[in-house]
Structure 1
Amino acid sequence: MKRKLANATEYAAKVGKREHFDREPNIGRLHECSVKTKICWQGSPGAQNYWDDADFDKALGVVIRDRFKELGAEALALMDREYKRAFIAEKDELLAKLAAIEALEQEQA
């Protein structure tokens, strides 16, 4: 999970970063942003319950594209929080393993 966070951070940092391999340096940019939403809502029993709207998805993609730096930073912050939460959650398992190792060490002594 830590590697995924590092990869995502490196990935997002490419936007706005200069490329130095060409005569005229280019700037990294968001090349593609596609969104596909589906809303679950049912007006009555037996009626349609999954809805989508391509025009809305297209507009939402533009909003994300326009706010990529801000939303990208939020996404990275979310990934960081999830990584820390998962890492901390491993504590009990690690303590149990440590106790088992210590018990085996005592048997060996």
Structure 2
Amino acid sequence: MWTGCCQSRAEHRRRLDVEEICLETRCRVDQYVRLDRDRGWHIERDTLWRALVKRGLRRCSFGVESGVDSTSAKPNKETAGHQNAPAMRALTSLGVPPG
């Protein structure tokens, strides 16, 4: 099973032939959306993620077990379910699908 950032090995090879690099990362949703932070913090984060996309970021995996706060609290996630959707929507709008 192919698990790269491209749809297939052939696409991956084609991208490498034109020196395009595909990057993947993992992060917590609160690395992109923090409702307790001000607008300036979010603008800085948006600038960072846009720079990563420009340099080849093509997928980001979030550790999302549930959209329900009570379920997320059990494994001591320190993030809330209501943070998941905004983070995923924001990165998807930049062309980075959640993985």
With normalisation by structure 1, the TM-score equals 0.21
Q: Normalising by structure 2, report the TM-score.
A: 0.22
Normalized per residue, the structure richer in helix is 1
Determine which structure has greater relative contact order: mean sequence separation of CA pairs < 8 Å that are 6+ residues apart, divided by chain length: 2
